[in-house]
């Protein structure tokens, strides 16, 4: 568990349309990390929107709006998505904000002054949908080689600014060798290493022909990817000598989808070094959520509406499902049916029933008041459990963390069946009954703590039904000590199940 300030970021999303569930995925993962680190100390979570460039300008034009007006209408939808999924960010940066635009110009000037940016001529291809310069040799049938895109590319011949990326190749190779875990998962690390070994060209960082972007001295705008990457430090007031920057840079974890690994693990560290700054500690390139075999994407149009999904299943069910279903680095296919199975099984039968049964027995046998327990032996078996969840979270292994938490859920369900409180009551074995009921309530208190990062709404409901008021907080090393729940606590159980059973949708359009 880290003591120092923790900084986590998501990509800033292109605001060329409405958000889909894939965008929620990265934001939820970042939120889990931020919430977990906040329980241990200080955390800063940045997200935002990537608003410049030809792709956004084209979407605005298609809607008959100026890009500024277009992005202003869309940003609230993106923020609503985060609110809908209980994503608690500390800052939301829009690349059209003056604080960002001014800082980008300042960075450009610094790079020019240090000799890392120079004037040249770009002759080559550009894909506006991917906002990527492509070598002729990389094109497929003259089109963008990205399988999700395959759009017509555009020939550019313009005087542009270049960043001396090739100069950093040896330093990048050495850095990769010395920090074999700085890019995760391993597949992404290996791919990027292979890219580096294949050689690096300098990077064109301006677009003369565009107007929608960070205006550069002398004309043209900044290449949208450089503009976008800089958000991670402009939001920390880097160019203004901000205390935020001092406190949080380098980022501990930068989360991205695997398709943008090259920008974040080759271009980004080189730009940072050119500015005399350290690279982030970890870039994690997670897998794709697929739908019917293909990456869920705006370009392909096969997206799941995150608002409708949250309406039907609730935010916590989705948060659980997305992080439990597959290892974070792997692709996984989304299906409502799989989600329904997890909802009714892990959440409804295992967790929801546990809470309901435990608190109902407490009401029946002890008037809803937590009894004193004369023995602590049951809890001893969970001594290392909090640390194991923390270790999994430190490794961004969300699935393992949830599996570990569900070991506690299973053990509590099992102990009900084994200790049979109803028989203890019938036999009049008050002391053993008290111990069993105490263990169940204490187990629920632990669950509220452990679930807080993953399912904040559910964790709060458990906490409040235990009669504890407020929300579970405090460092796990202090809180996850068996026996901290005070006897005499009056619980406040609810009749409503935490996870009402969901039936399959029977509909021709489902």
Instruction: Write out the residues near ligand ME8 by the rule CB under 6 A.
Output: 11-14, 22-23, 25-26, 50, 228-229, 256-257, 259-260, 288-289, 295-297
CB of 447 to ligand ME8, least distance (A): 28
Q: How far is the CB of 275 from ligand ME8 (least distance, A)?
A: 16
CB of 360 to ligand ME8, least distance (A): 40
Q: Smallest gap, in angstroms, from Cβ of residue 329 to ligand ME8?
A: 11
What would you report as the CA-atom Rg of the chain, rounded to the nearest whole angstrom? 26
Q: How far is the CB of 406 from ligand ME8 (least distance, A)?
A: 24
Of 324 and 356, which has the nearer Cβ to ligand ME8?
A: 324
Taking the least distance from each CB to ligand ME8, the nearer of 242 and 287 is 287
- Least distance (Å) between residue 416 CB and ligand ME8: 38
Question: What is the closest distance, in whole angstroms, from the C-beta atom of residue 82 to ligand ME8 in the complex?
Answer: 13
Q: Which is nearer to ligand ME8, 254 or 464 (CB)?
A: 254
Distance CA 101, CA 485 (A): 51
Distances (CA, A) of 70 to 58, 130, 145, 510: 11, 20, 29, 31
State which residue, 229 or 447, has the beta carbon closest to ligand ME8. Answer: 229
Structure tokens at 498: 């935490």
137 CB neighbour count, 10 Å cutoff: 6
- 468 DSSP 8-state letter: -
Nearer Cβ to ligand ME8, position 28 or 351?
28
Task: Closer to ligand ME8 by CB, 245 or 332: give it.
Answer: 332
User: Smaller CB distance to ligand ME8: residue 273 or 406?
Assistant: 273
Q: Which contiguous run of DSSP H or E holds residue 37?
A: helix 21-40
Nearer of residues 253 and 408 to ligand ME8, judged by Cβ: 253
Q: How far is the CB of 77 from ligand ME8 (least distance, A)?
A: 13
Q: Which residues pair with 14 in a beta bridge?
A: 50
Contact 52, 221 (CB under 8 A): yes
Cα–Cα separations (whole angstroms), residue 18 to 27, 76, 446: 15, 10, 38
Distance (Å, whole) CA 251 – CA 369: 46
Residue 394's Cβ-count burial label (10 Å; 0-12, 13-18, 19+) is middle
Alpha helices, H only, 428-468: 430-451, 456-465
Distances (CA, A) of 15 to 73, 120, 216, 420: 10, 30, 22, 56
Give CA–CA dist 397/145, Å, rounded.
32
């Amino acid at each position: 568990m880290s003591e120092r300030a923790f900084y986590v970021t998501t990509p800033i999303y292109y605001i060329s349309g409405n958000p889909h569930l894939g965008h929620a995925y990265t934001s939820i993962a970042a939120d889990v990390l931020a919430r977990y680190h906040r329980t241990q100390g200080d955390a800063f979570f940045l997200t935002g929107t990537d608003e410049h460039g030809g792709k956004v300008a084209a979407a605005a034009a298609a809607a008959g709006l100026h890009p500024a007006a277009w992005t202003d209408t869309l940003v609230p939808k993106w923020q609503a998505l985060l609110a809908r999924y209980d994503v608690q960010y500390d800052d939301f940066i829009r690349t059209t904000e003056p604080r960002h635009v001014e800082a980008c110009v300042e960075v450009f000037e610094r790079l020019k002054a240090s000799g890392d940016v120079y004037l040249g001529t770009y002759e080559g291809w550009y894909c506006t949908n991917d906002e990527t310069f492509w070598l002729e040799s990389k094109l497929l049938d003259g089109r963008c080689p990205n399988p999700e895109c395959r759009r017509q590319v555009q020939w550019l011949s313009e005087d542009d600014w270049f960043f001396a990326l090739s100069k950093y190749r040896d330093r990048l190779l050495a850095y990769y060798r010395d920090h074999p875990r700085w890019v995760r998962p391993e597949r992404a690390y290996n791919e990027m290493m292979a890219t580096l070994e294949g050689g690096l060209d300098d990077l064109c960082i301006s677009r003369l022909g565009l107007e929608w972007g960070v205006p550069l001295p002398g004309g043209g705008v900044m290449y949208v990817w450089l503009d976008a990457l800089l958000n991670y430090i402009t939001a920390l007031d880097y160019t203004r000598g901000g205390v935020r920057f001092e406190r949080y840079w380098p980022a501990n974890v930068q989360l991205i989808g695997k398709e943008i690994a090259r920008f974040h693990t080759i271009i980004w560290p080189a730009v940072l070094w050119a500015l005399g700054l350290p690279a982030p500690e970890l870039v994690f390139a997670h897998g794709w959520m697929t739908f019917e075999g293909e990456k869920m994407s705006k370009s392909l149009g096969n997206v799941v509406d995150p608002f409708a999904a949250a309406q039907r299943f609730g935010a916590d069910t989705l948060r659980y499902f997305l992080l439990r279903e597959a290892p974070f680095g792997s692709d996984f296919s989304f299906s409502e049916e799989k989600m329904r199975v997890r909802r009714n099984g892990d959440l409804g039968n295992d967790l929801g029933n546990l809470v309901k049964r435990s608190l109902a027995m407490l009401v029946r046998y002890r008037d809803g008041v937590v009894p004193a327990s004369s023995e602590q032996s049951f809890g001893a078996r969970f001594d290392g459990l909090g640390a194991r969840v923390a270790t999994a979270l430190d490794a961004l292994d969300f699935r393992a963390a949830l599996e570990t938490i569900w070991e506690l859920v299973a053990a509590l369900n099992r102990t009900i069946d084994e200790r049979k409180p109803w028989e203890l009551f019938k036999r009049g074995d008050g002391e053993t009954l008290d111990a069993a009921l105490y263990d169940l309530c204490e187990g629920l208190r632990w669950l509220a703590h452990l679930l807080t990062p993953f399912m904040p709404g559910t964790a709060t409901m458990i906490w409040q039904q235990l009669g504890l008021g407020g929300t579970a907080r405090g460092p796990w090393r202090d809180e996850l000590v068996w026996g901290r729940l005070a006897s005499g606590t009056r619980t406040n159980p609810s009749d409503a199940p935490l996870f009402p059973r969901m039936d399959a949708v029977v509909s021709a359009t489902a």
